[in-house]
Amino acid sequence: QLILEEEEMIDFVSTQEEPTLSQADLKKQSIQEVRRSLPIFPFREDLLRAITQHQILVIEGETGSGKTTQIPQYLMEDVSLKLLLIRSGLPRRVAAMSVAARVAEETGVKLGNEVGYSIRFEDCTSERTVLKYMTDGMLLREFLTEPDLASYSVVIIDEAHERTLHTDILFGLIKDIARFRSDLKVLVASATLDTERFSCFFDDAPVFRIPGRRFPVDIFYTKAPEADYLEACVVSVLQIHVTQAPGDCLVFLTGQEEIEACCEMLQERCRRLGSKIAELVVLPIYANLPSDMQAKIFSPTPPGARKVVVATNIAETSLTIDGIIYVIDPGFCKQKSYNARTGMESLIVTPCSRASANQRAGRAGRVAAGKCFRLYTAWAFKHEMEETTIPEIQRTNLGNVVLLLKSLGINDLIHFDFMDPPPHETLVLALEQLYALGALNHLGELTKMGRRMAELPVDPMLSKMILASEQYKCSEEVLTIAAMLSVNNSIFYRPKDKVVHADNARMNFTVPGGDHLVLLNVYNQWVESGFSTQWCYENFIQFRSMRRARDVRDQLEGLMERIEVEVVSSLEDSVPIRKAITAGYFYHTARLSKGGYKTVKHQQTVYVHPNSSLFEEQPRWLIYHELVFTTKEFMRQVIEIDSGWLLEVAPHYYKSKELEDSSSKKMPRKQGKTKDELG
């Protein structure tokens, strides 16, 4: 029963003898049985005792052992602890939502009552909430309203091994607070990575180890490198499906686009094979996936079928899906990378670390002996991958956290207690950028503008754009643009079988000026349609993304009152809108030069993304929202600007000399006029 063509098969070599697969025992257990079966359960009493005895405790346990879901419940069940509030900070919004839902179910309460979650632009808690799961970013923002965390009794920094930027900053702040809040309990939970370092950082806090329960995982490598890992994933899944014993499959890809493409390819091939193969249930999971879709990955696999979950590295340690026996790991992840010299941040698909690869493989051995298929060679594993992932703090723009720390009154950032300090030049650059944005004065102190910017839970450039809209009297429009940008890249729907229709529909939204204005146009037409689902469907717009944009917009609009920005509309003129965008994003200016664009300050070569409405037009001056590196450095979401605006919005950053067009035959039309206006 050979279904795959011979040449399509992928050659794997095993590093070990092949074990006989014991079949996963997936019989239905009651929720309480499941709770009692978790590796952490036998240590419940010991753990509670350790928490009572120590102010700071590091808890180490294999992923899936029950740290995230069980520890807060143990605390709530223990009446002797007299709890006020428990906050659990997690690196990912999907994880916060899904774990909160799970724990609410386990404790038999309605989500949002005693157990709730809080993620950016979405709060699902109430007066009654005792246990709040939140993203580490939201936990960090809580310091703004409650600098001493007075209402907390326990704070959990979960998934500490992820070493996100926010987690690292929380470490420093919480360590400091714990010194004068002796009643505050601090728990640092981590997978089996790096725990000694956490203990060391928290003045030798004890480490509580939950012994792992793990079945052997046999690791396979490809004989030769795979040219197309997406295709290789699809083939591998089908290969497993037709040749291997029952058990679900987990595939690690780098992002939404890839995941959707992979799912489509799998579904398409299964359709073609029809009844020749058993049912394959294909499920995606990534950060922007709507929560009802997310929940599906946890539903049991129908008898006779096989489930395949296609995930980002969210499934590496944040979420545990029961029943996984096979893991397919192409060995890549999407990482933020930051150039401290140029200040350019971009998302790059890079090889993951060996530590990540081992975590991924470990997911196959939770319920039975498993197999992990690595779509790279054993040589690449040894020689081409880094040992561990570099902490985010060392490869990201720090503007956001610097602004936050400044508003918490922490002025001396050089001496802040970082577990791994960021590169000096990154800190300096963040300070310079905040100065150029007007958030700091020349002494490095927070300005009134900076204080208002910090109130908005978005990046400094985006907050500046929103605040600048006040001056240009176009806050209605700019709020919409900000909201649409925040659900970035998931507005337009482009199914493989209807590419032409989808592209035509997209073209119909084109307006002069650039992509931000296209997004505004889409939103406004949707409002006119009465927020219609049907309208979205007809126009190849993703309804869910629009709904989310509306939620984000509502939230931002709610905050406008607090920072005293009047919400008004600039009727029918896009110049004020584009000026407001420029006021926030003047760093991201690029100028047309032979064959592509060059960034103004650093002469870096960049290109307009093919999806952009300005792809063919190639205006002389552009501002981009973000850079993505795929085959080359692409600017995603661009608008056309007049170079004179740069002098208007960022006079201490740009000098008119830099903006002269040495090569040009004709000067941009409006430049002369704008200069006159400036006097």
Task: Provide the binding-site residues for ligand ADP, judged by CB under 6 A.
Answer: 38, 61, 63-70, 98-99, 101-102, 298, 320, 322
Could you say which of ligand ADP, Mg ion, none residue 61 binds, taking C-beta under 5 to 8 angstroms by partner kind?
ligand ADP
For residue 523, CA distances in Å to 442, 480, 560 come to 39, 7, 20
Q: Which does 355 bind (CB under 5 to 8 A by kind): Mg ion, ligand ADP, none?
A: none
Stretch 64-103: interaction string toward Mg ion, x if CB under 5 A: ---xx-----------------------------------
Query: Distance between CA atoms of 371 and 249, rounded to whole angstroms?
Result: 10
Q: Which is nearer to Mg ion, 31 or 414 (CB)?
A: 31
Distance, in Å, from the CA atom of 137 to the CA atom of 230, rounded to the nearest integer, reads 32
Q: How many residues bind Mg ion (CB under 5 A)?
A: 2
409 within 8 A of 173, measured Cβ to Cβ = no
**Please, what is the minimum distance in Å from the beta carbon of residue 124 to ligand ADP?**
14
Tokens in use for 203?
A: 């003045």
> For strand 621-629 and strand 280-285, is the pairing parallel, antiparallel, or unpaired?
unpaired
129 binds, among Mg ion, ligand ADP, none (CB under 5 to 8 A by kind): none
Measured from the CB atom, is 363 or 588 closer to ligand ADP? 363
Q: Which is nearer to ligand ADP, 156 or 184 (CB)?
A: 156
Q: Which does 101 bind (CB under 5 to 8 A by kind): Mg ion, ligand ADP, none?
A: ligand ADP
The smaller minimum CB distance to ligand ADP, of residues 325 and 434, is found at: 325
DSSP-derived letter for residue 70 is H
Quote the Cα angle for 340-601-591, to 5°: 130
Measured from the CB atom, the residue of 286 and 435 that comes closer to ligand ADP is 286
CB 206 within 8 A of CB 199: yes
Rounded to whole angstroms, how far apart are CA atoms 654 and 587?
A: 10
Q: Minimum CB separation from ligand ADP for residue 71, in Å? A: 8
- By beta-carbon proximity to ligand ADP, the closer residue of 291 and 569 is 291
- CA neighbor of 11 nearest in space, from 218, 234, 224: 224
For residues 176 and 418, what is the distance between their CA atoms, to the nearest angstrom? Answer: 11
- Which residue stretch of 59-67, 278-286, 463-471, 491-499 sits at the interface with Mg ion (rule: CB under 5 A)? 59-67
- CB 333, min distance to ligand ADP, A: 19
Shortest gap between Cβ of 159 and ligand ADP (angstroms)?
A: 8
Kindly tell me which of 68 and 612 has the beta carbon lying closer to Mg ion.
68
- Residue number with CB closer to ligand ADP (186 or 375): 186
Contact of 262 with 251, CB cutoff 8 Å: yes
Q: How, if at all, do strands 596-599 and 605-608 pair?
A: antiparallel
Q: Which does 543 bind (CB under 5 to 8 A by kind): ligand ADP, Mg ion, none?
A: none
Asked whether the CA dihedral 473, 476, 477, 480 is positive or negative, the reply is: positive
Residue nearer to ligand ADP on the CB measure, 117 or 381: 117
What is the chain's length? Answer: 679
- CA 306 – CA 247 distance, rounded (Å): 6
Terminal-residue alpha carbon distance, the chain: 81
Closest residue to bound Mg ion by CB: 68
**CA neighbours closer than 13 Å in the CB half-sphere of residue 511:** 15
Rg over alpha carbons for the chain, rounded to the nearest Å, is: 26
CA distances from 319 to 169, 311, 314 (A): 23, 10, 6
Select the binding partner of residue 192 from ligand ADP, Mg ion, none (C-beta < 5 to 8 A, by kind). Answer: none
Q: How far is the CB of 504 from ligand ADP (least distance, A)?
A: 40
As measured in angstroms, the least distance from the Cβ of 44 to ligand ADP is 13
CB of 203 to Mg ion, least distance (A): 24
Max CA pair span of the chain: 82
Six token digits for residue 361: 């493989």
Q: How far apart are CA 448 and CA 439, in angstroms?
A: 7
How far apart are the C-alpha atoms of 323 and 300, rounded to whole Å? Answer: 9
Minimal distance in Å, beta carbon 319 to Mg ion? Answer: 8
Write down the least CB distance from residue 36 to Mg ion, Å. 18
In the complex, minimum distance from the CB of residue 188 to Mg ion, in angstroms, rounded to a whole number: 12
Residue 13's alpha-carbon distances to 7, 77, 220, 378, in angstroms, are 16, 49, 5, 9
Identify which of residues 190 and 377 has a Cβ nearer to Mg ion in the complex. Answer: 190
Q: Whole-number minimum distance, CB 60 to Mg ion, in Å?
A: 12
- The smaller minimum CB distance to Mg ion, of residues 70 and 389, is found at 70
In 264-311, where do the E strands start and end? 280-285, 306-311
Instruction: Measure the CA angle with vertex 678, ends 675 and 679; round to 5°.
Output: 90
Q: Sort 285 into a burial class: Cβ within 10 Å, 0-12 / 13-18 / 19+.
A: buried
Residue nearer to ligand ADP on the CB measure, 74 or 472: 74
Tell me the closest approach of the beta carbon of residue 573 to ligand ADP, in angstroms. Answer: 48
The encoded tokens of residue 404 equal 């936050």
Residues binding Mg ion (CB under 5 A): 67-68
